[in-house]
Amino acid sequence: MEADFWHQKWERGELGFHLSEANPLLVQHFSALGLQRGQTVLLPLCGKTRDMVWLLEQGYQVRGAELSQLAVEAFFAELGVTPEVSDCGALTCYQAESIAIYCGDFFSLQADLLGTVDAVYDRAALVALPSDMRSAYTRHLRALSGHAPQLLIAYEYDQLAADGPPFAILPEEISQHYADSYQLHLLDRVDVEGGLKGKVAATEAVWHLTPL
């Protein structure tokens, strides 16, 4: 899937994946990670999600990675904050108190730039990537985060009945990507109201990944 696909989504305002408030599954299950205030949470492919606002309100440091400059600028505008903008090699960093978002190719983000990551919250990244990119993504994410624990939200549905993204990520695939480094704990499954894109019955599965 090319970067232009996502740039065009943001340019056209096709933001069906964007929620106007924090994801209820994040609010309900984030405590499973056992973090303390002030610790750092990484959100890959973060968009302008209100989940980052919720995490800031809980007292966490937030680090995001996002391809779209429009998304990053919209997030800070909606937050009512003017970020400090700086070049970080192939990326542009937008930074304000307690938050930094690195804009550009996720695979250009390196651990030494990102700093310590205490946990990963992946609601929008793994499900956004086609199958031929997911292994490279999960390897890079593990390297970036130092195999930090994760809260992962995945969609489960009949992939033949609807086009992604978001793509269906079934338990077998999560095991394929992560079982060699993490214990996988299924915390919850909830039905997607009205089905995915109104086309097919779907559930959201919430996983807690703890390092071995």
Whole-angstrom distance between the N-terminal and C-terminal Cα of the chain?
A: 32
Among 46, 41, 53, residue whose Cα is nearest residue 79: 53
**3 state SS of 153:** strand
- Binding residues for S-adenosyl-L-methionine, as ranges, are 10, 45, 66, 123
What span, in angstroms and rounded, lies between the C-alpha atoms of 66 and 194? 28
Do residues 199 and 148 lie in contact, with contact meaning Cβ atoms separated by under 8 Å? no
Residues 198/193/48/187 CA torsion (nearest 10 deg): -130
**3 state SS of 86:** strand
Bridge partners, residue 96, by sequence: 99
Residue 90 one-letter amino acid? A
**3 state SS of 175:** helix
Beta strands at 150-157 and 182-191: parallel, antiparallel or unpaired: unpaired
- Binding residues, as ranges, are 10, 45, 66, 123
What span, in angstroms and rounded, lies between the C-alpha atoms of 44 and 122? 6
Tokens of 182: 């993490």
